[in-house]
Protein backbone atom coordinates (compact mmCIF):
# COMPACT_ATOMS: atom_id res chain seq x y z
CA UNK A 1 0.00 0.00 0.00
CA UNK A 2 2.88 2.32 0.85
CA UNK A 3 6.55 2.09 1.76
CA UNK A 4 6.01 2.46 5.50
CA UNK A 5 3.48 -0.38 5.63
CA UNK A 6 5.73 -2.56 3.51
CA UNK A 7 8.55 -1.96 6.01
CA UNK A 8 6.31 -2.84 8.95
CA UNK A 9 5.28 -6.06 7.18
CA UNK A 10 8.81 -7.12 6.32
CA UNK A 11 10.62 -6.28 9.60
CA UNK A 12 11.95 -9.28 11.51
CA UNK A 13 14.21 -9.71 14.50
CA UNK A 14 17.75 -10.18 13.21
CA UNK A 15 20.11 -12.29 15.31
CA UNK A 16 22.94 -12.94 12.84
CA UNK A 17 25.23 -10.09 11.91
CA UNK A 18 27.86 -9.25 9.33
CA UNK A 19 31.19 -7.94 10.66
CA UNK A 20 30.72 -4.80 8.53
CA UNK A 21 30.71 -1.64 10.62
CA UNK A 22 27.66 0.61 10.54
CA UNK A 23 27.97 4.14 9.22
CA UNK A 24 27.81 6.67 12.09
CA UNK A 25 24.92 8.58 10.48
CA UNK A 26 22.83 5.41 10.27
CA UNK A 27 23.36 4.66 13.97
CA UNK A 28 22.35 8.24 14.74
CA UNK A 29 19.27 7.99 12.52
CA UNK A 30 18.12 4.84 14.32
CA UNK A 31 18.62 6.47 17.72
CA UNK A 32 16.84 9.63 16.64
CA UNK A 33 13.84 7.58 15.49
CA UNK A 34 13.60 6.29 19.05
CA UNK A 35 13.97 9.71 20.63
CA UNK A 36 11.12 11.07 18.51
CA UNK A 37 8.65 8.47 19.81
CA UNK A 38 5.51 9.63 21.61
CA UNK A 39 5.67 9.33 25.40
CA UNK A 40 3.28 9.82 28.30
CA UNK A 41 3.15 13.56 29.21
CA UNK A 42 5.96 13.90 26.62
CA UNK A 43 8.12 12.89 29.59
CA UNK A 44 10.65 10.94 27.45
CA UNK A 45 11.39 8.47 30.24
CA UNK A 46 14.48 6.97 28.69
CA UNK A 47 18.21 7.12 28.20
CA UNK A 48 20.14 5.00 25.72
CA UNK A 49 23.74 3.89 26.14
CA UNK A 50 25.37 3.10 22.81
CA UNK A 51 28.19 0.59 23.09
CA UNK A 52 30.38 -0.04 20.05
CA UNK A 53 34.01 -0.13 21.21
CA UNK A 54 35.70 -3.46 21.95
CA UNK A 55 36.40 -2.38 25.56
CA UNK A 56 32.86 -1.12 26.14
CA UNK A 57 31.34 -4.30 24.75
CA UNK A 58 33.63 -6.46 26.87
CA UNK A 59 32.67 -4.57 30.04
CA UNK A 60 29.00 -4.89 29.25
CA UNK A 61 29.16 -8.55 28.29
CA UNK A 62 31.08 -9.56 31.38
CA UNK A 63 28.47 -7.68 33.46
CA UNK A 64 25.62 -9.50 31.71
CA UNK A 65 27.39 -12.83 32.17
CA UNK A 66 27.93 -12.39 35.92
CA UNK A 67 24.54 -13.59 37.26
CA UNK A 68 24.37 -16.38 34.67
CA UNK A 69 27.86 -17.56 35.68
CA UNK A 70 27.01 -17.41 39.39
CA UNK A 71 23.87 -19.52 38.87
CA UNK A 72 25.77 -22.15 36.90
CA UNK A 73 28.64 -22.25 39.41
CA UNK A 74 26.18 -22.49 42.30
CA UNK A 75 24.57 -25.43 40.49
CA UNK A 76 28.01 -27.09 40.47
CA UNK A 77 28.52 -27.19 36.70
CA UNK A 78 32.12 -27.88 35.60
CA UNK A 79 34.15 -24.80 34.56
CA UNK A 80 34.31 -25.97 30.92
CA UNK A 81 30.52 -26.22 30.72
CA UNK A 82 30.13 -22.80 32.33
CA UNK A 83 32.54 -21.29 29.80
CA UNK A 84 30.89 -23.00 26.86
CA UNK A 85 27.38 -21.92 27.83
CA UNK A 86 28.47 -18.33 28.44
CA UNK A 87 30.15 -18.18 25.05
CA UNK A 88 27.06 -19.52 23.30
CA UNK A 89 24.70 -17.18 25.15
CA UNK A 90 26.77 -14.15 24.22
CA UNK A 91 27.49 -15.08 20.59
CA UNK A 92 24.86 -12.72 19.20
CA UNK A 93 25.93 -9.81 21.42
CA UNK A 94 29.55 -10.24 20.36
CA UNK A 95 28.67 -10.40 16.67
CA UNK A 96 26.55 -7.23 16.66
CA UNK A 97 28.71 -4.16 15.96
CA UNK A 98 26.51 -1.91 18.10
CA UNK A 99 24.68 -2.64 21.34
CA UNK A 100 22.10 -0.20 22.64
CA UNK A 101 21.09 -0.39 26.29
CA UNK A 102 17.72 1.20 27.04
CA UNK A 103 17.37 2.68 30.53
CA UNK A 104 14.37 4.11 32.34
CA UNK A 105 14.37 6.60 35.22
CA UNK A 106 13.72 5.21 38.68
CA UNK A 107 11.92 8.41 39.75
CA UNK A 108 8.73 9.00 37.80
CA UNK A 109 6.40 12.01 37.59
CA UNK A 110 3.81 12.34 40.36
CA UNK A 111 0.32 11.71 39.01
CA UNK A 112 -2.76 12.44 41.17
CA UNK A 113 -4.75 9.84 39.19
CA UNK A 114 -2.21 7.11 39.97
CA UNK A 115 -3.92 5.87 43.15
CA UNK A 116 -2.25 2.48 43.12
CA UNK A 117 1.19 4.00 42.68
CA UNK A 118 2.12 1.71 39.80
CA UNK A 119 0.51 3.31 36.78
CA UNK A 120 3.27 5.80 36.09
CA UNK A 121 5.62 2.85 35.75
CA UNK A 122 3.27 1.29 33.21
CA UNK A 123 3.30 4.55 31.26
CA UNK A 124 7.09 4.63 31.43
CA UNK A 125 7.36 1.04 30.17
CA UNK A 126 4.88 1.73 27.36
CA UNK A 127 6.75 4.87 26.32
CA UNK A 128 10.17 3.20 26.38
CA UNK A 129 8.91 0.20 24.41
CA UNK A 130 7.51 2.52 21.77
CA UNK A 131 10.88 4.26 21.43
CA UNK A 132 12.58 0.89 20.98
CA UNK A 133 9.91 -0.20 18.50
CA UNK A 134 10.57 2.89 16.40
CA UNK A 135 14.27 2.06 16.42
CA UNK A 136 13.53 -1.49 15.21
CA UNK A 137 11.60 -0.09 12.25
CA UNK A 138 14.10 2.66 11.49
CA UNK A 139 16.94 0.12 11.46
CA UNK A 140 15.02 -2.06 9.04
CA UNK A 141 14.31 0.91 6.77
CA UNK A 142 18.09 1.49 6.53
CA UNK A 143 18.89 -2.13 5.66
CA UNK A 144 20.08 -2.84 9.22
CA UNK A 145 18.99 -5.64 11.49
CA UNK A 146 18.06 -5.34 15.13
CA UNK A 147 16.79 -7.54 17.92
CA UNK A 148 15.38 -6.82 21.37
CA UNK A 149 16.88 -8.78 24.29
CA UNK A 150 15.58 -8.86 27.84
CA UNK A 151 18.99 -9.85 29.31
CA UNK A 152 19.81 -6.64 31.27
CA UNK A 153 16.57 -6.92 33.24
CA UNK A 154 18.20 -9.78 35.12
CA UNK A 155 21.36 -7.92 36.10
CA UNK A 156 20.45 -4.25 36.60
CA UNK A 157 23.44 -3.39 38.77
CA UNK A 158 25.95 -4.86 36.34
CA UNK A 159 24.25 -3.25 33.31
CA UNK A 160 24.30 0.17 35.01
CA UNK A 161 27.93 -0.23 36.07
CA UNK A 162 29.05 -1.19 32.55
CA UNK A 163 27.31 1.87 31.07
CA UNK A 164 28.28 4.40 33.73
CA UNK A 165 24.64 4.83 34.81
CA UNK A 166 23.71 5.45 38.46
CA UNK A 167 21.50 2.52 39.57
CA UNK A 168 19.82 4.81 42.11
CA UNK A 169 18.49 6.82 39.16
CA UNK A 170 18.27 4.44 36.22
CA UNK A 171 17.19 0.89 35.56
CA UNK A 172 17.88 -1.07 32.39
CA UNK A 173 14.89 -2.17 30.37
CA UNK A 174 16.40 -4.02 27.42
CA UNK A 175 19.35 -4.50 25.11
CA UNK A 176 19.02 -3.88 21.38
CA UNK A 177 21.57 -5.42 19.02
CA UNK A 178 22.26 -3.55 15.79
CA UNK A 179 24.19 -4.50 12.68
CA UNK A 180 23.99 -5.41 9.03
CA UNK A 181 22.30 -8.80 8.69
CA UNK A 182 24.75 -11.61 7.90
CA UNK A 183 24.67 -12.35 4.16
CA UNK A 184 22.48 -15.34 3.34
CA UNK A 185 20.98 -15.43 6.83
CA UNK A 186 17.24 -15.25 7.16
CA UNK A 187 15.21 -15.23 10.36
CA UNK A 188 13.23 -18.40 11.00
CA UNK A 189 9.71 -18.43 9.61
CA UNK A 190 7.26 -16.58 11.76
CA UNK A 191 3.89 -18.17 12.36
CA UNK A 192 1.30 -16.35 10.28
CA UNK A 193 -0.45 -13.41 11.90
CA UNK A 194 -4.17 -14.06 11.56
CA UNK A 195 -5.94 -10.75 12.27
CA UNK A 196 -9.12 -12.54 13.40
CA UNK A 197 -7.17 -14.01 16.35
CA UNK A 198 -6.35 -10.58 17.73
CA UNK A 199 -9.04 -8.19 16.56
CA UNK A 200 -12.63 -7.51 17.48
CA UNK A 201 -14.61 -4.99 15.46
CA UNK A 202 -17.63 -3.69 17.32
C1 LIG B 1 9.65 -7.24 25.12
C2 LIG B 1 10.45 -8.13 24.19
C3 LIG B 1 11.41 -8.97 24.72
C4 LIG B 1 12.18 -9.78 23.88
N5 LIG B 1 13.20 -10.53 24.42
C6 LIG B 1 13.95 -11.30 23.60
C7 LIG B 1 15.05 -12.02 24.13
O8 LIG B 1 15.39 -11.93 25.32
N9 LIG B 1 15.76 -12.82 23.28
C10 LIG B 1 15.44 -12.90 21.94
O11 LIG B 1 16.12 -13.66 21.21
N12 LIG B 1 14.42 -12.19 21.40
C13 LIG B 1 13.66 -11.40 22.19
N14 LIG B 1 12.64 -10.65 21.66
C15 LIG B 1 12.32 -10.72 20.21
C16 LIG B 1 11.11 -11.62 19.99
O17 LIG B 1 11.46 -12.97 20.22
C18 LIG B 1 10.58 -11.42 18.56
O19 LIG B 1 10.17 -10.10 18.39
C20 LIG B 1 9.42 -12.36 18.29
O21 LIG B 1 9.84 -13.71 18.29
C22 LIG B 1 8.75 -12.08 16.94
O23 LIG B 1 9.68 -12.16 15.88
P24 LIG B 1 9.92 -10.93 14.89
O25 LIG B 1 10.47 -9.79 15.71
O26 LIG B 1 10.91 -11.44 13.88
O27 LIG B 1 8.61 -10.55 14.27
C28 LIG B 1 11.91 -9.80 22.48
C29 LIG B 1 10.93 -8.94 21.95
C30 LIG B 1 10.22 -8.11 22.80
C31 LIG B 1 9.21 -7.15 22.20
Q: What is the pLDDT of residues 41-64, one digit of tens each?
A: 999 999 999 999 999 999 999 999
Confidence of residue 74 (pLDDT cuts 50, 70, 90): very high
Flag whether 102 is in a domain.
yes
Residues 103 and 170 sit within 8 Å (Cβ to Cβ): yes
Higher-confidence residue: 66 or 179? 179
Residues near 97 by beta carbon (within 8 Å), at least 6 away in sequence? 17, 19, 20, 21, 22, 52, 178, 179, 180
Q: Report which protein residue has its CA nearest ligand 1's atom 21.
A: 13
Tell whether 99 is covered by a domain: yes
Which residue among 17, 145, 146, 150 is best mutated to probe the pocket of ligand 1, counting the most ligand atoms within 8 A of its Cβ?
150
Looking up residue 84, the CATH number of its domain turns out to be 3.40.109.10
Closest atom of ligand 1 to CA, residue 150: 8
pLDDT tens digits, one per residue of 111-123 = 888 888 789 999 9
* Domain range enclosing 137: 3-181
Residue 30: inside a domain, yes or no? yes
Residue 83 lies in a domain: yes
When pLDDT is cut at 50, 70 and 90, the band that residue 73 belongs to is very high
Q: How many Å is the Cα radius of gyration of the chain?
A: 19
Buried b (16+ CB within 10 A) or exposed e, 16-26: bbbeeebeeeb
Number of domains in the chain: 1
> Which residues partner with 100 through β-bridges?
50, 176
Candidate of 89, 148, 178, 185 to mutate for ligand 1, largest count of ligand atoms within 8 Å of Cβ? 148
Mean pLDDT of the chain: 95
- Whether residue 194 lies inside any domain: the answer is no
Please check the confidence at residue 38 and state whether its pLDDT lies above 90: yes
The set of protein residues with a Cβ atom below 6 angstroms from ligand 1 is 12-13, 147-150, 187, 190
Residue nearest to atom 22 of ligand 1 (CA): 13
Please tell me whether the overall predicted TM-score, pTM, comes out greater than 0.85 for this model: yes
Mutate to test the pocket of ligand 1, among 147, 152, 191, 192 (most ligand atoms within 8 A of CB): 147
Closest C-alpha residue for ligand 1 atom 14: 148
Residue 18 pLDDT class (50, 70, 90 cuts): very high
What pLDDT digit, counting tens, does each position of 142-181 carry? 999 999 999 999 999 999 999 999 999 999 999 999 999 9
Assess if residue 24 is contained within a domain: yes
Instruction: Say if 197 falls within a structural domain.
Output: no
pLDDT band at 136 (very low <50, low <70, confident <90, very high): very high
For residue 90, tell me if it sits in a domain.
yes
The 8-class DSSP code of residue 40 comes to: G
Residue nearest to atom 18 of ligand 1 (CA): 13
Contacts 24+ apart (CB under 8 A), 38-44: 38/127, 38/130, 39/127, 39/130, 39/131, 40/120, 40/123, 40/124, 40/126, 40/127, 41/109, 41/123, 43/109, 43/123, 43/124, 43/127, 44/127
Amino acid sequence: MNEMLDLIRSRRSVREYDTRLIEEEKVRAVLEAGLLAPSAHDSRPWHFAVVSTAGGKERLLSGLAAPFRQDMEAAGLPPETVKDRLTRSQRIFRAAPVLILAFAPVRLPANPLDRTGGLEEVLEIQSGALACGQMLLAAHSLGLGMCWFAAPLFCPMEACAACGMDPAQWRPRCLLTLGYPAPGSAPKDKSPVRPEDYLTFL
